[in-house]
Amino acid sequence: MRYYFNIKDGQMLLDDEGTEFNDVAGVREEAVQSSADMLKGLHGERFWSGDPWQLWVTDQPNGGGNTILTLTFTARLPA
């Protein structure tokens, strides 16, 4: 089945191509690994503002259809 990995990071980045996976376990593993890889490179002020960074996976393109899983991260520096 094809799954679509969408990102919200101050703007929406919607997946219109998707990736094939045999099962939801593979989707979960990819979602965690992809999030970790993307979060490694985020050092700007926007990331540390406390606004949530989100990856969600759907079964239809562009964030449509059913949401299979959602990962949400929030980072905040003390004042």
- Domain range annotation of the chain: 2-73
Query: How many Cβ atoms are within 10 Å of 9's Cβ, its own excluded?
Result: 17
- Rounded Cα distance between 69 and 66, Å, is 9
pTM: 0.89
pLDDT in tens, the chain (79 residues): 999 999 998 889 999 999 999 999 999 999 999 999 988 877 666 677 788 999 999 999 999 999 999 999 988 888 7
